């Protein structure tokens, strides 16, 4: 259902050759055998969705950082029935470009590390829409 020559399927682990972070790759979305497909709804691990595209469409997606990335897609038929969600795992090699301060994933937005109530370390990726309010805090409890 989902494929990319630049960022091959990584279901069995890191491919021998793959694209670099911040480098666009073409991702093609098939209808996965649905003969009366109306649209495909997709999202990624860094761009929540769903967003609609035509069956068979190709999109340019640039993984923002090094490591694994996920693309999700489901097919919607003309009656409005939605298929199970397909998950495409790909990997991006390191880019020569360095991440900026407070940017954990290379998307250009400030990110936050924090601990949950159990003491587990969590990372929250910034979406670039939080404004400047966080700059007045040095500790968040």
Contact 124, 112 (CB under 8 A): yes
- 88: domain CATH number is 2.60.40
Based on the domain organization, do 16 and 65 belong to the same domain? yes
Based on the domain organization, do 48 and 71 belong to the same domain? yes
Based on the domain organization, do 81 and 113 belong to the same domain? no
Which pLDDT tens digits describe the chain residue by residue (141 residues)?
Answer: 899 999 999 999 999 999 999 899 999 999 988 999 999 999 998 888 899 999 999 999 999 888 999 999 999 999 999 999 999 999 999 887 777 788 777 677 788 888 888 888 887 777 776 655 555 555 555
| pTM across the whole model | 0.74
For residue 47, give its domain range. Answer: 2-92
Based on the domain organization, do 29 and 81 belong to the same domain? yes
Quick one: CA torsion of 45, 17, 75, 62, rounded to 10 degrees? 40
140, part of any domain? no
119, part of any domain? yes
Based on the domain organization, do 86 and 121 belong to the same domain? no
d(Cα 110, Cα 2) in Å, to the nearest integer?
30
d(Cα 141, Cα 114) in Å, to the nearest integer?
9
Based on the domain organization, do 34 and 84 belong to the same domain? yes
Based on the domain organization, do 38 and 55 belong to the same domain? yes
**What is the separation, in whole angstroms, between the first and last Cα of the chain?**
43
Contact 27, 58 (CB under 8 A): yes
42, part of any domain? yes
Based on the domain organization, do 20 and 45 belong to the same domain? yes
Based on the domain organization, do 85 and 120 belong to the same domain? no
118, part of any domain? yes
Based on the domain organization, do 70 and 11 belong to the same domain? yes
Contact 46, 105 (CB under 8 A): yes
Q: How many domains does the chain have?
A: 2
136, part of any domain? no
């Amino acid at each position: 259902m989902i494929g990319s020559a630049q960022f091959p399927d990584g279901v069995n682990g890191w491919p021998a050759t793959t694209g670099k972070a911040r480098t666009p790759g073409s991702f093609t979305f098939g209808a996965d055998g649905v003969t009366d497909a109306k649209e495909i709804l997709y999202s990624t691990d860094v761009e929540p969705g769903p967003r609609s595209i035509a069956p068979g469409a190709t999109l340019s997606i640039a993984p923002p950082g090094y490591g694994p990335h996920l693309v999700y897609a489901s097919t919607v038929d003309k009656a409005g029935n939605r298929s199970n969600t397909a998950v495409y795992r790909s990997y991006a090699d390191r880019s020569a470009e360095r991440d900026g301060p407070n940017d954990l994933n290379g998307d250009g937005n400030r990110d936050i590390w924090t601990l949950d109530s159990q003491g587990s370390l969590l990372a929250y990726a910034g979406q670039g829409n939080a404004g400047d309010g966080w700059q007045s805090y040095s500790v968040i409890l």
